[in-house]
């Protein structure tokens, strides 16, 4: 099925480059995911609490501007956003090639997505629970930290898992424009050099990693979901 040259190249990659590629893949997944969550979590909460009828309504003009910014960033295809943001990476890390250069574009692409997922999770919280907290004199901060986020925790974990896998996919696509990791091996050796054995193995490895993420995430959701106890 595969030529001897393909198998020799595949063996060389597995022996010399695989561990580094896996590390770079995880690095390009978890670091931007953490940054996106740090930015997206408060934004998502703000979209709910600051909305008309929320526990702390904000000026309509501000909310419209915030929603417009998030929608704008979400509407830009990742590869185009990557090209636009790479000069920022050049300023931050001194290069536009490699795993470090991809962190800023990945985080910028992910945080609006995370904000919307957080918004969806928070809106699923029973309004009666919030009203009960308000009637007991809880402050806005207390409602957010002791009611909204704890009640939405299973949905937040599930949606963060969706975001994590999406970022993983973005990182694989970044291999087309100088990114590192398994995506780079699949593109540079499998696609450009037409070595299908390399391409297939890299794709299988990425599928395995996604399945691991999904399995761990599902267990966390079950542990935090009161309905499953």
At 81 the three-state DSSP class reads: helix
Q: What is the pTM of this model?
A: 0.88
Output the six-digit token pair for 67.
């929603």
pLDDT band at 194 (very low <50, low <70, confident <90, very high): confident
Q: State the pLDDT at residue 189.
A: 86
Q: What is the pLDDT of residue 134?
A: 86
Angle, vertex CA 187, rays to CA 192 and CA 208, nearest 5: 145
Q: What is the CATH number of the domain that holds 223?
A: 1.10.3720.10
**Region of residue 145 (left: phi > 0; alpha: psi -120 to 50; beta: else):** alpha
Interval 173-195 mean pLDDT: 85
Taking only the tens place, the pLDDT of each residue in 51-66 is 988 888 999 999 999 9
- The pLDDT assigned to 228 comes to 53
Average pLDDT, the chain: 89
Q: Among 14-18, 81-85, 191-195, where is mean pLDDT lowest?
A: 191-195
Domain range enclosing 28: 4-228
pLDDT attached to residue 66? 92
CB atoms within 10 A of CB 85: 20
Can you list the alpha helix ranges (DSSP code H) found in the chain?
4-16, 18-49, 60-75, 78-93, 103-123, 127-135, 140-143, 149-151, 153-173, 181-185, 196-224
Work out how many domains the chain is built from and give that number.
1
């Amino acid at each position: 099925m595969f030529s001897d040259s393909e198998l020799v190249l595949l063996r060389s990659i597995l022996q010399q480059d695989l561990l580094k590629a896996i590390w770079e893949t995880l690095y390009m997944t978890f670091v931007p995911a953490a940054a996106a969550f740090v930015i997206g979590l408060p934004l998502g909460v703000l979209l709910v609490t600051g909305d008309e009828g929320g526990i702390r309504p904000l000026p309509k003009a501000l909310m419209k501007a915030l929603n417009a910014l998030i929608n704008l960033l979400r509407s830009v295809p990742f590869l185009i956003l990557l090209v636009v943001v790479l000069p920022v990476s050049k300023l931050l890390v001194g290069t536009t090639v490699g795993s470090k250069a991809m962190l800023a574009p990945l985080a910028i692409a992910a945080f609006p997505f995370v904000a919307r997922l957080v918004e969806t999770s928070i809106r699923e919280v029973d309004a009666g629970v919030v009203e009960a907290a308000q009637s007991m004199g809880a402050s806005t901060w207390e409602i957010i930290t002791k009611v909204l986020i704890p009640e939405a925790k299973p949905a937040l974990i599930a949606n963060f898992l969706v975001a994590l896998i999406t970022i993983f996919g973005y990182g694989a696509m970044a291999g087309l424009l100088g990114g590192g990791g398994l995506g780079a091996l699949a593109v540079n050796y499998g696609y450009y050099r037409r070595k299908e054995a390399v391409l297939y193995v890299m794709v299988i490895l990425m599928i395995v990693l996604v399945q691991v993420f999904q399995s761990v995430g599902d267990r966390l959701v079950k542990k935090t979901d009161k309905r499953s106890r």
